[in-house]
């Protein structure tokens, strides 16, 4: 038989478990209430990033988000004079496409320049030659770029340099959209290749459903 001291200890442990469970339930309830109050449930996340856009690609063709429906899409914002992040990201995208084999043909990649003053159609076309031929590039007017950047919850800003020129700070993420144009996640700058490939395979898989 349990003595009074042992029985009291058991009761106290049960009480603490009850407190923890209650706190967790309260926390989840509070989080859910905030989600509902703001109108954003977890199922709405795909609607918070991305959307319509209008740009001109490196071949001079007008493009919109509708041109990419039917296959998953990766979107990356940058500029051709970028010293490291942009070429590194596009090179990594090239290695991903190679590693995916035949599945790479089911994936689209779009590089969006936020520096239209320097990134002309001809320069973008030349710049792409260093990477996989399936990667496309586009830019637009400042209004078109700003609208797309805002829709993707990305950022960019021009920063003067000591040489009297400028560089551009920008979001260094690859945005993933499914075949319906719905946002499903991101690939971080310098993401490990095995992790990036897992994300891409899943993206291709869910886009085939």
Query: What CATH number does residue 104 fall under?
Result: 3.40.30.10
- Do 166 and 112 lie in one domain? The reply is yes
Give the residue numbers spanning the domain of 148: 48-207
Residues 79 and 116 in one domain: yes
> What tens-digit pLDDT sequence spans the chain (209 residues)?
444 444 344 334 433 434 333 333 333 333 333 433 333 434 455 678 999 999 999 999 999 999 999 999 999 999 999 999 999 999 999 999 999 999 999 999 999 999 999 999 999 999 999 999 999 999 999 999 999 999 999 999 999 998 889 999 999 999 999 999 999 999 999 899 999 999 999 999 988 76
b/e for 106-125, b at 16 or more Cβ within 10 A? bbbbbbbbbbbeebebebbe
**How many domains are there within the chain?**
2
Q: Are residues 99 and 11 in the same domain?
A: no
Residues 19 and 111 in one domain: no
User: Do 71 and 15 share a domain, yes or no?
Assistant: no
The model scores a pTM over 0.75: yes
Residues 101 and 184 in one domain: yes
Burial (0-12, 13-18, 19+ Cβ within 10 Å), 25? exposed
Residues 63 and 21 in one domain: no
């Amino acid at each position: 038989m349990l003595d009074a001291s042992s029985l009291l200890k058991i009761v106290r442990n049960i009480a603490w478990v009850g407190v923890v469970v209650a706190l967790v339930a309260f926390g989840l309830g509070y989080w859910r209430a905030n989600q509902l109050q703001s109108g954003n449930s977890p199922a709405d996340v795909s609607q918070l990033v991305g959307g319509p856009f209008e740009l001109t690609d490196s071949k001079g063709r007008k493009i919109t988000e509708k041109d990419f429906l039917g296959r998953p899409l990766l979107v990356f914002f940058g500029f051709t004079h970028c010293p490291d992040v942009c070429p590194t990201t596009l090179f990594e995208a090239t290695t991903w496409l190679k590693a995916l084999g035949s599945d790479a043909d089911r994936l689209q990649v779009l590089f969006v320049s936020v520096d239209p003053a320097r990134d002309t159609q001809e320069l973008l076309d030349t710049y792409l030659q260093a990477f996989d031929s399936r990667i496309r590039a586009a830019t637009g007017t400042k209004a078109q770029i700003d609208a797309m950047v805002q829709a993707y919850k990305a950022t960019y800003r021009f920063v003067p340099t000591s040489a009297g020129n400028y560089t551009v700070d920008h979001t260094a993420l690859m945005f993933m959209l499914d075949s319906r144009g719905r946002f499903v996640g991101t690939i971080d700058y310098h993401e490990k290749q095995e992790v990036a490939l897992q994300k891409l395979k899943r993206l291709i898989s869910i886009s085939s459903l």
